[in-house]
Every structure is written in C-alpha cells, then in structure tokens.
Amino acid sequence: MLILVLTVAAALGLRFIPHLSQQHLNIRVAQLLAISLLLGLIWLLGLSRLPWRIRLQSLAALLGLLGGTAALFRIHGVTGDLIPILEPRWAKRQFNEPTPSVSKTNALTAPSLPVPGAADFQQFLGPQRNGVAAFAKLATNWVTHPPTLLWRHPVGAAWSGYVVAGRLAITQEQRDQSEVVACQDLLTGAPVWSHPVPARYFNTLAGEGPRATPTVSSNRVFAQGATGMLLCLDLASGKPIWSRDVFKDAQSSIPSWGQSSSPLILGDWVIIAAGGRNDHSLIAYRTSDGSIAWHGGDEGDTYSSPLHASLLGTPQILLFAGSLTSHDATTGKVLWKHPWPGGHPHVATPLVVSSSDVVISSGYGTGSARVRVARDTNGTWSAKQVWRSNRLKAKFTNLVVLDGFLYGLDDGIMACLDLGTGELKWKDGKYGHGQVLLCGSLLLVMAESGEVVLLDPKPDQLHELSRFTALTGKTWNPPALAGELIVTRNDKEAACFRLPVLP
C-alpha cells in the first residue's frame, strides 16, 4: 500500500513541475512505474512474509504476463507524445508487392495536362515552403457538402509527404529492402512509375522508411532517402539521371531518427542539409549532373529543411540545426547564427515573418522565439531575440502566420500567439502531433489521428468548422493541398479527396 500511495503521489506531483513537456512527463511516468514494479518485487520476495509458495507463484504469474505480452505483441512505433503503440505480432502489412523500377508512362498522366480544381504543390510545405498552399474558396460545412474520395490504396512505410505536379502525385516509401520514389496518377491513384534504391532505415520508436518529402523542379524529381541517398529522376518516366551519397560527401552519418530534410531547389542547385561539420552542414549540388557547387557550415545533424529567404534585401539560406544559421545563397558562407537549446531534435522549418525577422520553434518543452537580424555599415551581420515563449512548442509541425498572429500545434494542442509580443492568446483543440497548412484565411489541420480538420483562425478563440476522417492510424506525414484536392498519407495508406468549394 505504501508503494502504491507513493507511486500515485509522485505521478501527480510530476504534473506540477514547471515547463515539463508531455513527452518528458510520459518518460518520467514510465521510469516511475518501472521503479515501483522493482520495489514491489523486492517487497514480495524479501519483505512480504508471505509463504514462499505464494511468492514464487506470484513471481511466475508476473513473468508469464510480461512474457506472454512480449510474445503476442510488438511495439509499432510511438505516438508523438512517446507512448508506445502495440500491434499483434501476426499482423502483416497490406502492401509488399514488388514493382518494376520504371514502368511506361501512360499518356493520360502526362504532367502537362491540366487537372480540374487542382494546382501544383511541388515541394515540402507548398510553393514558398512556408505552409501556405495555393487554394480554392473552400466550403466550410463538410456535413452538407462532404469531401469526395477520389482514391485510396496501401503504401509502403514512410513519413514522407506527397508533392503534386500537373496530374502526377509523387512520394517516397519503403518496399521490402528498397527505398522507392513512387509516382501515381493524381485523379485515380494508379501507378505511373516507381524507382527503387537498395536501402532501408528502421528504428523501433521512429518507424521504417524514408522521412523527407520529394521536390519537383522543371522536369525533374529530387528525393532524399532516410539513409542519405539523393536521387535526381526524370519527372515523366522516373528514369534516374544522377545520384549522390550525401553522408559520404559530408563525411557524416545517418541521424538517430533518419534523414528527414527535404531538398531545396535554388536556381541550378539542389541544396541539402547534409549534417556534416567542417564546412559541410549544407551542400549545394548542381541539378544538371549532381556535382558539388559549394558547401558551408558546421552545425551537424538536423531534421529541419533548408529555406531560401531574403532578409534585409540579401538572399540567404536558413538552416535550423544546432542553431539558427544563415548561409550566403551564392557561396554557402555562414552570415550569422542565433543559438538555440540542443539535446532534442530540431524539426520545424524556420518561418520568415518580415524583412528582418524569423520565427523558430522546437518541442520537448523548449518553445518558440522571434529573431531579428541586422547588418552594420561594415556589412557584419548580427541576430538578437525579440521574444521567446514556451507556450508554442512545435515538435513535428510547422508554424504559420496570419494577420499578425502565429498558429501551430503546441505539444499537439492548437495555440495562437501574438506575433509582435509572443503573448499566448489561446490554446485549445487536441489534434496530436500532426501538420498544418494555411489555405487562404482558413487552417487545414492533418491530425495525428488521421482526421482532416478545418479551422477559422481568429485571435479570440478556436473556431473549428468541420472535420472528416481521411486515414486510419498514426499520421505524421504532411499533406499536399493542390487547389481543392488534398493528398494524404501515413505509413500504411494514402488517399486523395476533393474538398467542397464555394460557387
């Protein structure tokens, strides 16, 4: 009874620790339960004064329960709050069929053909890589005008999203021992082509397969796998043009959670967060042949994607790695840095909110900050913090800004901050560790549960308009919103819907 009372009291007390993130809270609770179980066993075997027959029978029952659970179930990753997800060991994936490396492109899927109600979404987080999508005027009542399912099919494991170019929808997935760049028809989901590379990333907690979203530029597809292989493929056919081993070039290694950074196209270069030190945190490859144009920085691993920005009239590339770092957009030389707490993954892409200001955010109790850069008469750059708040902690998601307010998921709960001061306006609505896109003046939330939720973002309070279930199971993948078509996926299935629009 004493052990039980102390366990409950300690669990309740953890919630009063200031600035303790939900992930750290769950870790502490797991540690507490393990300690309590150990103390219980010590009491049972050494202090209980029960007959030895009962002691040994109780120990055998406990070991049988634990062993039986381990024999029947396995851990299939964790939620965004680090709660293990169990699945039966006899469960099999629906999708494991082999596919040819390149199949002939059907004439109906030519990327030049227009798609009614669609628009291009050719890179991670949309046309400007800021979470703002090209949009139609969406209807807000999905009960009377529900979204229409165009197709649904199984996919190989991955946390990559889709990109859309014309009538082609492209993603990455794991198929057996190969990472595959897969292209489907946007309107039917029918396979157009696929290109495999022998590679596989797996981690019990992080899951399996690629994590980065491909990028389309001109008539080419650029895709980076979880193990660091960078591919350049022909958009129409999927035929390989060139490839590079990024980690070999940077003399770095695969990050703990796999390579998650999406390629950035800037003119004739494809820019990659390579995770290397000694002037190799960023590498620019020539899109024509994959040769290295330049490299710069020494920040090491990151799960965030590089961003092209113009600050104080100067083109630069922002990378949120060990710190927020700016690189000259033509040479890769580091212009300025702003420090940020480490010890946890940095995932969110920096968000440019003015000609001189950038917002960064990370999870695990850290929060967000607005950073302002300046340049003196000698051309020397500097950066200072305008405000910092732990009320908006973007773990996986990316933040968006609308009418002077910042919106995003704070440990899975939607929150609104005043962009000028960092003041919390409200926090409401549990959507898990999902993704957010700004569609005109509306927010589309891809919830961790697989639901798509439509919000009217206002600084006074949360206004949820509609929702529907798009997918089943944990969904960390970013959606692609191409006009009124939304393409969604998780590690098991993909689906495309036509959202209702106003006349």
Residues 182-203: pLDDT tens digits?
999 999 999 999 999 999 999 8
Nearest in space to 359 (alpha carbons), one of 303, 409, 420, 305: 420
Q: Is 448 left (phi over 0), alpha (psi -120 to 50) or beta?
A: alpha
- Convert the pLDDT of each residue in 281-340 to its tens digit: 999 999 999 999 999 999 888 999 999 999 999 999 999 999 999 999 999 999 999 999
Residue 144 has pLDDT above 70, yes or no: yes
Three-state DSSP class for residue 9: helix
Cα 468 off chain centre by: 21
- Would you say residue 107 has pLDDT above 50? no
* pLDDT for position 205: 84
For the segment 253-258, the average pLDDT, to the nearest whole number, is 91
Q: Are 280 and 294 in contact (CB under 8 A)?
A: no
Confidence of residue 390 (pLDDT cuts 50, 70, 90): very high
Tell me the C-alpha distance between 379 and 361, whole Å: 28
Evaluate whether 413 touches 109 at the Cβ level (below 8 Å).
Answer: no
Angle between helices 22-42 and 2-14 (to 10 degrees): 170
Other Cβ atoms within 10 Å of 65 Cβ, number:
10
What pLDDT, on a 0 to 100 scale, did the predictor assign at position 34? 92
C-beta atoms surrounding 372 within 10 Å:
17
Most confident of 2-11, 91-100, 453-462: 453-462
H or E element that contains 11: helix 2-14
* Dist CA 413 CA 420 (whole Å): 21
Which of 135-139, 218-222, 365-369 bottoms out in mean pLDDT, i.e. has the lowest?
Answer: 135-139
**pLDDT confidence of 134, banded at 50, 70, 90?**
confident
β-strand 264-266 against 178-185: which pairing, if any? unpaired
Confidence (pLDDT) at 17:
84
Rounded-to-integer distance, Cα 316 and Cα 306, Å: 10
Catalogue the E-assigned strands of 225-296.
229-234, 240-245, 264-266, 269-273, 282-286, 292-296
- Residue pair 497/150 in contact by the 8 Å Cβ criterion: yes
Residues 207/208/213/219 CA torsion (nearest 10 deg): -170
Domain boundaries, the chain: 2-88, 107-498
Distance, in Å, from the CA atom of 453 to the CA atom of 133, rounded to the nearest integer, reads: 16
More confident residue, 12 or 173: 173
Q: Is the pLDDT of residue 109 over 60?
A: no
Query: What is the rounded CA–CA span in Å between residue 463 and residue 475?
Result: 23
Q: Would strands 264-266 and 168-175 be described as parallel, antiparallel, or unpaired?
A: unpaired
What residue type is 248 in one-letter code? K
338-385 residue pLDDT tens: 999 988 899 999 999 999 999 999 999 999 999 999 999 999 999 999
| Dist. CA 435–CA 481, nearest whole Å | 12
Distance in angstroms (rounded) separating the CA atoms of residues 493 and 77: 16
Give the C-alpha separation, 109 to 91, whole Å: 35
* pLDDT above 90 (res 53): yes
> What pLDDT score does 112 carry?
44
**Percent of the chain having pLDDT more than 70?**
95
What is the number of residues in the chain?
Answer: 503
Angle, alpha carbons 333-337-338 (nearest 5°) = 165
State which fold the 107-498 domain adopts.
Methylamine Dehydrogenase; Chain H (2.130.10)
Does the pLDDT of residue 111 top 60, yes or no? no
Q: Look at residue 180 in the predicted model and tell me its pLDDT.
A: 97
Under the banding of pLDDT at 50, 70 and 90, the label for residue 206 is confident
Q: Where are the beta strands (DSSP E) in 89-177?
A: 148-154, 163-165, 168-175
* Strand-pair partners of 118: none
User: 62-66, 78-82, 113-117 — which is least confidently predicted?
Assistant: 113-117
Q: Is 156 exposed, middle or buried (0-12, 13-18, 19+ CB in 10 A)?
A: buried
The model's pLDDT over 234-254, given as tens digits with 9 standing for 90+, comes to 999 999 999 999 999 999 999
DSSP single-letter state for residue 121: B
pLDDT given at position 243: 97
Nearest to 491 by CA among 172, 186, 125: 172
SS3 434: coil
